[in-house]
Structure 1
């Protein structure tokens, strides 16, 4: 079986190549990958090469495959897993396996450490390591892109599940947000913030009030369009948006909550002032989750330790989700309860994988979603209508067809858009991908 895949040979040395996969062993599974979402972690691996903790030292001779937010279907099942997995079955994957016996010794993971498994590929081999750790996960949803985004959604789910509360005089940690309480998402109108809004409204536990902040009215108005107050109310949640640019947030939250403030605050920007805002709006026994991952190792903010002591404020941080979080994400997507479409701002083909990965921080917007069999540039979903007017040939035909579908879905990528795109598979196939 031939595959076309993005391989890493060294720092900033990424090559899209077609090569033969070896026959699978009895404890392996062959998969066809349909979609892969580009992660900032892949950018870091591409820039660092062998200096990255998950990249083997011998990639110049034995390159590995990049990409770990992928979805597809089963093509062939090794003897050991027949009956457990079926040909044609859809899947998602938990990439944070950290398999101790893998090629790096520790911290080995698909999309970094292995020669034959990575998301930027048409076909891949799921190795024994992943299967032994139950990190290949079943999925029965209506679109591949949703399962590709199960990994970032699992980070959100993990953050909510990790929040905890301890009543004064008790030593019992109550995990999760306070049901029927007040919750806030600070700097919450970006892609990951939208994911948390979606999960808060449609997940297993809802607050009474959800306050979302940002400093840009255009972003706030866009999120209001995606999550109308009427819909939130039908979920049992009062959804409130606040532009904090010229507002005393603590005073406004006190007015909204009759002085109770919030039980759970999630900070989605690595900015000290936003962190400090988060603590100021905590109520008695409130928890602040610093979700945003800073790159500055010296980043610091003020902490009111009086409130830590007397008002039982708790400060924590989360990074990533575990396999159970992934299962929850895939199950909720399969049931149609959550939809990560608001995270996606760009689409493209596997031929855009290298440049997208190397230049990811320079590309504005949210998630960059690639379809692995396509020879297609990376394009912003917002630009599809314009590109349809400016482009000719098959790409122009594709853009003109996608634009009204996206418009019907409030400007979001969707199951309908994915199905339309996949209908162009033969017309826009990358060289030797078929």
Structure 2
């Protein structure tokens, strides 16, 4: 009698005629699948420069839940989901079950991979599980967007002895590790575009006088600071430009605690940008910002309570303080588990770790 697991790993059995998947047609779990069930479609065909793959395991990320909740309002969904539904699932491990004729010197049936899901082609995002069909499907076609994108090949090979679920969790584990390795800028982007806006009374450049963006929009009310900034721009060879509709900025500096100004300017921050608030008074009300962009667009928020602009850009510690006290909020969830495990296992760990979660049964799982 054959070994079922060994047969599955070889991936050379006859393929089914139908593919099972969970398409999402809009916001809400009622729009996942049809009548609460997965659907079936013909097994996808693949071309000479493509692979047919079997999804072996898929993690459910909170990002997937956010898409289910938001539907087409999610910042990474760019289409009519009713007509062209999204198939979620970017935490995946997969096995090649079909190889196009032009790829047979590179791949073979049974090869196993995970996917670096943040795929770009020509600067356009085609994230796996968003624009490209994801792991909430049994089979999928891997095309040249994945095999030959801006970052090269987005398939990452894995060892045949690594478990399927273990492999799928490589993506969230990579996110956890990456969160401790972020390199925050400590100055305005050299050669970038800067917008300085707000009151500015009593504010000084400080060490920022030596920084050199490529161009700057000066929207400062205080005449003294406005004149100083103009002189600095001339001295440093920074072009002073006017704001234009749709202009995106690498750095935005808000002078003062005006929440409406923050809300108006924050959407103009480009990917990888930094948003700094210099204020000596509290912001009078909550500020409504799209905080999802911090994650999806790699934005950074800075602030300083004094009058020195440069003080807001002090180095940010990204590692847990050795011998310190660490609080892991949401420690009962999957990502919380990972952060907690990492804190317990690193060589220079905190002396005390506080783990909390809103739901008691979940936190008991980590006791």
| TM score, norm. by length of structure 2 | 0.49
| TM score, norm. by length of structure 1 | 0.42
Which has the bigger relative contact order, CA under 8 A and spacing at least 6? 1
Larger Rg: 2
